[in-house]
Amino acid sequence: MKDDTLLDLAKSNLSSAKLLYRFKDDDEIRLNTVGYLLQQAIELALKHHLETSGVEYPKTHDIDSLLALCEEDEFPEIEPWAESITALESKTRYIKNYRLALRKVDQIMHLADKVIEKIEKLHEKDSEETDSFSP
């Protein structure tokens, strides 16, 4: 949609990942698609956060680069996973016979949920503070 925010797109990717995950069976291509969608969800959520915080960000899929633009220790839950999450963008699409570990997908899905929820709360709070200063 024309008025969708990056956070709306992130939530859509997460929702699609969860739907596909329910039908994963032993299909490595489907599981790789879930991984790709989770990477996109986290990337877009971080970009939304930066954008709404007034921070310009580069055109990148690198989660570490996006985290470096956030306030220090703002997303400590992602930092240990940043490299693995970034790798999902390309490995799941371009490496033949690449197979994601189910445990890894579960953990990253949980992280995506937490990050999106955290960003929603942060910007909900910012919005409330802005509204309280309005005449």
Mean pLDDT by 10 residues, the chain (135 residues): 87 97 86 95 98 95 96 94 94 86 94 96 72 52
Residue 1 lies in a domain: no
35's enclosing H/E stretch is helix 28-52
Residue 134 lies in a domain: no
| Placement of tokens 């940043």 in the chain | 82
Domain that includes residue 119, residue range: 6-127
Assign residue 61 the CATH number of its domain.
1.20.120.330
pLDDT at 36: 96
Domain count for the chain: 1
pLDDT at 2: 66
Residue 123 lies in a domain: yes
Residue 99 lies in a domain: yes
Residue 98 lies in a domain: yes
**Residue 43 near residue 114 (C-beta atoms within 8 A):** no
Residue 132 lies in a domain: no
The conformation of residue 96, written as its DSSP 8-state character, comes to T
pLDDT at 92: 86
Chain-centroid distance, C-alpha 118: 11
Residue 74 lies in a domain: yes
Overall residue count recorded for the chain in this entry = 135
pLDDT at 1: 55
pLDDT at 29: 86
Residue 135 lies in a domain: no
